[in-house]
Amino acid sequence: MSGFRQVNANLHILSPIHIGAGVELDPLSYVLREDKLYLIDLYRWVEDHPNAEELTATIETNDFPKIRKYIAESFDPGYEEIILDRIPIISDVIKQQYNDAIYKKGSLQQALINFMTRNEITKTAYIPGSSIKGAIRTAIGNSFVKPAKITTKDGYKKSYDKKIYGNPKEDPMKYLKISDIPLSTNNTGIYEAQEHSLSKKQLTPKGAYEATDNLCMNRKPVVYPLRLMLSDQLKIQNQKIDPAALIHMLHAFYTPKFKEEYRKFYAAADNNTQQEMDLLNLVAATMKTNETLIRIGHFSHVECVSFDDVPQPKTRKGKDGKFLPWGTTRTLADGKYPFGWAKIEIIDESVKSEPRQDTDWPFNAETIRQNMERQEEQKKEIEQARQKAEEKRLAEEKRAAELAAMTPEERLIAEANGPEANDEKLNQLSNRLEDLPEPLKKEAAQLLKEHWQKQNKWVKKDFSTKQWQKWRDKINTIKAILGENC
């Protein structure tokens, strides 16, 4: 591409990101089975349906709950040709809403789901490059609010853009190009969006959303190559925007937003909420100078999509006729994870990769590390205990099967010499010794002799006079069977 050079970069998905197509789909377009949502090609399913007459009769009823139920019950997850995507269901609430919509009579539940933007051909979800570029544009523009002399008196958005970027026909941001990021199958999940309020009221449901896999939920990195093309002609207010300047502007804009959101909404939250965000916080606090936070997509909230000091968000009026305050709620995926956070990592010789000297965090990174180490140790201990319990269960099942295959006499000897062995089993074997068939009698006698020798119950000196009178006959019987002198 003439005049452009590729800048090697990665996009790290830190929390769920939802970028929608503006369309809500109901259970006519998808089916839930166990922990997965199957996005289906309804037209193909109708065309290939084996019972066309029954299907037609169902559709002609115009009874949508009945039609949804028919689709749900007729769907075959093995019919690959009609399946466009398989998406894990993260929230149990989504499953319940679906079941209510399908099977509960009189339910008003529509079970609508906001899906990600999808490739028209492959039907797979993707993150539009335009969404990433839009988030970058906001951060860059914020760096020029003062030089461009923008105030709250300026018209919202359009006036800002013109003062900063100049004539829209000559928009300098055209010299930055970012490609879409395709997401493969199973790289998204369905969450319930829940509104978290400063007033600490109960979380308010806001619907079901498909969002990207992420570090918070997976507990491991989710990283995609970011194809970023940059031209030397990218200049704003006569300042050249190179990779280093890009990282600096993004960091200067988004990092304070991240800190303030945590202080305002999560610092006083319960330990579970903080624990769900520990990896996100740790990544933010340990970024290098070639890395920066960025917020992308729906539920990014007004602070991250408007310039500092001059936002004019439009809110609805309250009962008193006055506009309600803004910035008093956050929307969390499943009530746990803030939407939209990612990290851009630029791998370019023009951008230094050194630890950032930033300590003004509303949490302690070292404490997070220690807590995570403890959690990992606890997980290991729990897993080890689970494995031991499973090994014990399997061993017991195997032993039970072995004993069941034996004759009663063989079982008597085996139980006196296996994990079940105790004094009671040994005494039972001793009492039945004379009744055993000859080959087993000698084996049992040898077994009893070895056990009682280990227990110091074999020679006269091991007993008191009264005890010896009790044991003498047993020992002599064994010696006789083994051909030893009594």
d(CA 3, CA 7): 13
Mean pLDDT along residues 330-353? 93
Q: Shortest CA distance to 123 belongs to which of 42, 48, 53?
A: 42
pLDDT (0 to 100) of residue 318: 67
Task: Please state the separation of Cα 156 from the chain's center in Å.
Answer: 38
Confidence of residue 317 (pLDDT cuts 50, 70, 90): low
d(CA 101, CA 332): 24
Q: Which residues contact 164 (CB under 8 A, 6 or more apart)?
A: 141, 144, 145, 148, 150, 236, 237
pLDDT (0 to 100) of residue 366: 87
d(CA 3, CA 439): 95
Q: Which percentage of the chain shows pLDDT scores above 90?
A: 44
d(CA 171, CA 161): 9
Q: Shortest CA distance to 449 belongs to which of 475, 480, 412, 414?
A: 475
- What is the three-state SS of 53-121? HHHHHHHCCCCHHHHHHHHHHHCCCCCHHHEEEEEEECCHHHHHHHHHHHHCCCCCCCCCEEEECECCC
Coil vs helix vs strand at 43: helix
Mean pLDDT along residues 394-403? 93
Confidence of residue 401 (pLDDT cuts 50, 70, 90): very high
pLDDT tens per residue across span 64-79: 888 888 888 888 888 8
Task: Please provide residue 55's backbone torsions phi and psi, each rounded to the nearest 5 degrees.
Answer: -65, -45
Name the region of 248 (left: φ>0; alpha: ψ -120 to 50; beta: rest). Answer: alpha
pLDDT (0 to 100) of residue 103: 84
Mean pLDDT along residues 391-405? 93
Mean pLDDT along residues 416-421? 88
- Sign of torsion over alpha carbons 332, 336, 338, 342: negative
pLDDT (0 to 100) of residue 205: 85
pLDDT at 1 over 60: no
d(CA 30, CA 220): 29
pLDDT at 140 over 90: yes
> Average model confidence (pLDDT) for the chain?
88
Pairing of strands 113-116, 204-212: parallel
Confidence of residue 283 (pLDDT cuts 50, 70, 90): very high
Exposed, middle or buried by CB within 10 Å (0-12, 13-18, 19+), for 62?
Answer: exposed
Among 16-30, 100-114, 154-168, 246-260, which is the least confidently predicted range? 154-168
d(CA 301, CA 285): 21
Confidence of residue 393 (pLDDT cuts 50, 70, 90): very high
Confidence of residue 48 (pLDDT cuts 50, 70, 90): confident
Of 155 and 360, the one with more pLDDT: 360
pTM over 0.75: yes
Confidence of residue 313 (pLDDT cuts 50, 70, 90): low
